[in-house]
Amino acid sequence: MGRIFIWSYLSTPLNYSIEKFDYQAMYIILKSKHIDRHQSQRIMNCMSEHDIRRFESAEEAMEVLGTTEKAEDDDFSQYKSSRYLGYGAVKQKKFEEIYAGEVAEEIEEFRLFLNSDDDLIFEYDPSFKQTVLFHGPTGTGKTTLAYAIAAESGLPFFKLEANEIEDKYIGESERHLAQVFKDIYDYACKKESKVVLFIDEIDNLLSSRGREGGSTEAYHYKLVSVFLNYFGDNDHDELRKDFLKKIVLIGATNYPEKIPANVKSRFFIVSEIPKPDDRLRTSILAFQIGQINQKYVAIDEGELEDIARTECAGLNARQISDAVKKAARKAYFEKKREQGDGMVRRKHFEFLKGSSPHKRSNSFDKISYMYN
């Protein structure tokens, strides 16, 4: 993705007087000019990229930022729906570098298809759709799996969450969703590439049930209608057929039963991501410990398997990741306090002991975010 076109935001006088100002002051200026948080963040990223730490004056900021390379025509920030989406170029990585678990054969085939340079599959099966739905308990790695698929393929990655397009005004949420689909398709056409759209907690967006205490059946019906208009069966609509060839849709939900049957049927692959068993927990634990600089790790293969079966018993992928991070921090602070050698050992996972796997799994959800 090209650098951000900043000049248009800063070309008018900045009514901000201070001898020197830095990132924080720049953010205040951007906010005062009613530039939304996504655009502001990209400008701040551009400042970092060019190693711009401080300015002598507002005029210098305009001069320096104004001379930065302009974005390419296909930069997504120009689209209306950029305010609803998390998006960007994903650094291409091997699938195994991101996702530690095993996947079903149909997901392996889907990965193989995305990494091929042709669309021959549509000649073998004209009904094929690039749509996948992951479902399973919380923390099992559905989001990570979607990101791993996108990173392996090197395709642009867009993430949409239901609350980003919700609007209190009648008809606006449906318009926002349609705008998202339209803009992503237009972006894919300009890039001459497929793109990955990931919708997390898709049941909140396309639900078959109304919200408690409110009549939202019509609201969800209209959103479902918009979705089906783009991802339905359009065998005689060439534009829609092209749309389906360019947009790779991945959805994730903890509650598949909430998704209407006519929506679920539009996903060519529906795959459950279950809680890990002992073998998979060992793989996830090995993967997460592998993210630590290995010169600070003193855990052998046998201990790794024991930790997965005992200390980490009953934990899901996210909880294992949080446990490894906390264990690593414990080793670090022991060294800082001169109470240890700074090596991550099995003893640093002892905080997981002392209760049943079920209770430990539930309680870990409550404390894990304290350490992130």
Return the minimum-mean-pLDDT range out of 25-39, 95-109, 285-299: 25-39
> Are 186 and 214 within one domain?
yes
Q: What is the pLDDT of residue 117?
A: 74
Enclosing H/E stretch for 9: helix 7-10
* CATH number of 244's domain: 3.40.50.300
**9 CB-near residues (< 8 Å, 6+ apart):** 30, 33, 35, 39, 43
* Bridge partner residues of 353 (DSSP): none
For residues 7 and 65, the answer to whether their CB atoms sit within 8 Å is: yes
Q: Cα–Cα–Cα angle for 326, 278, 135, nearest 5°?
A: 85
> Are 82 and 118 within one domain?
yes
Q: What is the pLDDT of residue 345?
A: 94
* Tokens 């359009």, residue located: 234
Confidence of residue 51 (pLDDT cuts 50, 70, 90): very low
* Tokens 């002598």, residue located: 56
Mean pLDDT of 317-335: 92
* Domain span holding position 36: 7-72
Kindly state whether residue 1 falls inside one of the protein's structural domains.
no
Q: How many domains does the chain have?
A: 3
Provide the token pair at 326.
């906390």
Q: Which of 72, 89, 104 is the last residue before a domain boundary?
A: 72
The DSSP symbol for 242 reads H
- What whole-number distance in Å separates Cα of residue 132 and Cα of residue 139? 18
- What whole-number distance in Å separates Cα of residue 146 and Cα of residue 156? 12
* CATH number of 291's domain: 1.10.8
> Are 14 and 152 within one domain?
no
Q: Which of 272, 292, 317 is the last residue before a domain boundary?
A: 272
The segment with the largest mean pLDDT, out of 117-131, 245-259, 358-372, is 245-259
For residue 214, pLDDT beyond 80: no
Kindly state whether residue 221 falls inside one of the protein's structural domains.
yes
For residues 132 and 271, the answer to whether their CB atoms sit within 8 Å is: yes
> Are 339 and 201 within one domain?
no
Q: What is the pLDDT of residue 19?
A: 36
- What whole-number distance in Å separates Cα of residue 333 and Cα of residue 326? 11
Confidence of residue 209 (pLDDT cuts 50, 70, 90): low
Kindly state whether residue 2 falls inside one of the protein's structural domains.
no
Amino acid at 61: A
> Are 99 and 242 within one domain?
yes
For residue 341, pLDDT beyond 90: yes
Q: What is the pLDDT of residue 348?
A: 94
State how beta strands 85-88 and 157-161 pair: antiparallel
> Are 23 and 67 within one domain?
yes
302-305 long-range contacts, Cβ below 8 Å, gap at least 24?
303/346
Q: Does residue 268 sit in helix, strand or coil?
A: coil
> Are 265 and 334 within one domain?
no
**Torsion sign across C-alpha atoms 245, 247, 248, 251:** negative
Return the minimum-mean-pLDDT range out of 13-17, 61-65, 95-99, 223-227: 13-17
Question: How much is the pTM?
Answer: 0.67
> Are 52 and 13 within one domain?
yes
> Are 312 and 233 within one domain?
no
For residue 303, pLDDT beyond 70: yes
Q: What is the pLDDT of residue 74?
A: 46
Per-residue pLDDT tens digits for 166-190: 777 677 888 889 999 999 999 999 8
> Are 222 and 357 within one domain?
no
Return the minimum-mean-pLDDT range out of 55-69, 218-232, 279-293, 352-366: 55-69
What DSSP string describes 66-91? HTSPPPPTT-GGGSGGGGTEEEEPPP
Q: What is the pLDDT of residue 222?
A: 86
Confidence of residue 285 (pLDDT cuts 50, 70, 90): very high
For residue 359, pLDDT beyond 70: no
Q: How far apart are the first and last CA of the chain?
A: 29
For residue 291, pLDDT beyond 70: yes
For residue 334, pLDDT beyond 50: yes
Kindly state whether residue 58 falls inside one of the protein's structural domains.
yes
Confidence of residue 24 (pLDDT cuts 50, 70, 90): low
Return the minimum-mean-pLDDT range out of 62-71, 183-192, 289-298: 62-71
Q: What is the pLDDT of residue 197?
A: 93
> Are 285 and 262 within one domain?
no
Q: What is the pLDDT of residue 368?
A: 39
For residues 65 and 52, the answer to whether their CB atoms sit within 8 Å is: yes
Q: Which of 214, 242, 272 is the last residue before a domain boundary?
A: 272
> Are 207 and 331 within one domain?
no
* Tokens 């008018």, residue located: 12
Kindly state whether residue 290 falls inside one of the protein's structural domains.
yes
Confidence of residue 153 (pLDDT cuts 50, 70, 90): confident
